[in-house]
Structure 1
Amino acid sequence: MIFSNSRNSKNQRPPFEKWYSYLLFVFIGYCIADLAILAYRDRMLPQSAPAARPKAPPIDTSVNRGAYNSITSRNMFASNGEIPDPLVDKTKGPEAQKEQVPVPSQLPLNLIGTLVHSNPDKSLAAIEVRGKNQVISYTPGKEIEGMASIVRVERQKVIFRNLNSNRMEYIEMKKDGNKVAFGASAVSAGGKEVQKAGDNNFVIKRADLLKYTNDLSSVLMQARAVPNREPGTGNINGFRLLDMQPGSIYEQLGLQRMDVIKSVDGTPVDSPAKAMELYNSLKNSPKVTLQVERNGKNETMTYNIQ
């Protein structure tokens, strides 16, 4: 029994032994094919470049000159050196074209003063409606008592549309020979309309006050002021006087450079319109108090009108 078992174990073969010869043939064939490719690779590559494809014809991007007829006919760029006439709607007839030129207005309005801003929409005009003794500040786009709509504010002139006739009209400040002379000439003449009665206490005659309020544009030219804003919030809490003419009404009123005008009679001055309204309200006031911030401290200026 022991002898037979040892004999059987010698006759057994390893698994897959019959496949060894096939695997060897496959490996030899792979090596021969690889060597053949290396030998004939240069002959299998193309010897000449492929034929070039025909190029697409170029696209014509030029524009016919006739496409610019609408521009050249209107002469927008003044090719001949002449400025063309403004475009108007000719379908509305000659009357609609005439209204482009404002005419003097017959409305019961008096122009008291103007403030022309670099932004036309922020310009102001102080206008008095005759018979109401009331001066109101208007900006472009606002209506005046249902009579007119402000179109443009110019220096000493306001252009508006009459809501009744739909015409363009204008009003100007009155030009009379008795206009007050401000600046150095008035100082050299020695004329002072405001008298100092004590510390921060002044007296001014009503007749002199009316001269200033009736010539508001000249008064506004005597000083340069900018809005004073609160740090952090940016809200306007008054107007700071950056500069003023020597001997001007501002100097006579006891104001100094860099003063901040904060309120008039307790009413805050937080906009140019409010400042103009308060200025014109002085006509009928017996006394006016002005709160001024000077060097970080608040001071009260009192003006008695006689």
Structure 2
Amino acid sequence: MSAGLTTALATLSQPDNARRLRQLVLVVLAIWAVTALASLVWALLPDPPPVATPTAVINPVATASAGQSGAENIDIARMKDWHLFGEAGAEPVAPVTPPEVLAADNARDGIEKGARQTRLKLALRGIVASTEDGLGHAIIEYQSRQDVYAVEDKLPVPGRVTLAKVMPQQVVINNGGTYELLKLFDKSALASQVPAPRPRPEPAAKAEDLDKRGDLDATRLAAGYRKRLYQDPQSLAEVVGVSAVREAGQLVGYRVSPGQDREQFEQLGFQAGDLVQSVNGIDLSSPANTMRLYNLMRTAGEAVFEVQRKGQPVTLSVSLDEAGQQ
């Protein structure tokens, strides 16, 4: 490698070759200098103003000629005949009921005719609400537990059993395609089937008086529960659990337990396991009093519960009148 380097140096050391090398270096330097100078000049010159590109016009506005008026193209008399906001003095048009709603209403008409009394172990404890078209809610008991059911709801018995129609004194259930009746009570056998409520003996100890009528939060909560009872009674199942309690085969009251919000349950003064035996003086040991209590509580200003708590009597009073607490 050293021999090749020595030969190259010897070649470049010759006068002609050295002169050519210098000329080549000078040409390269000249080209670089011209390029650098041009770049410097372009950097110092100001930028030219941007050229505005024509904007495309969408839906251009047509201008009317001098001899043509825009008002001549609008037929005012024809627009009046359209009656965009209705015709003055015309009879109001009755709303049209959708065909599917009419079909649903017609499907419930007369289904109770020819239906026999059901043999299912269900008990109708009350009619919460009923309408002329058979809709509404009913309180139905199964295995000592009561719940509120609406039309088309599945009932808590084996098989395909649903609530088909709600009437003032009875309901119609659909038992696998067969309509059956569940009556609130049998008038002919009411005296024998529903015994008169036994007089409750006076308690040995004086009842504890728990008065919540001055508690504004408890009043608002109780008033809200009453509103839900008449607007959406099924939603109360999420708030409080209710189960019927019997002794010697006779109903003695309803045991209550907290739902999803235990704090609200206790704010009203209740405790888990309380046995409610009467409300506003109406004895709950008689199933016939269910509708009477339902109608009374719609306009009641307060609710007074007679409760058995761990074997001791408790009187719990809650106001339902929010206006009176303001």
Considering Cα pairs closer than 8 Å and 6+ residues apart, tell me whether 1 or 2 has the greater RCO.
Answer: 2
Normalised to the residue count of structure 2, the TM-score between the two structures is 0.35
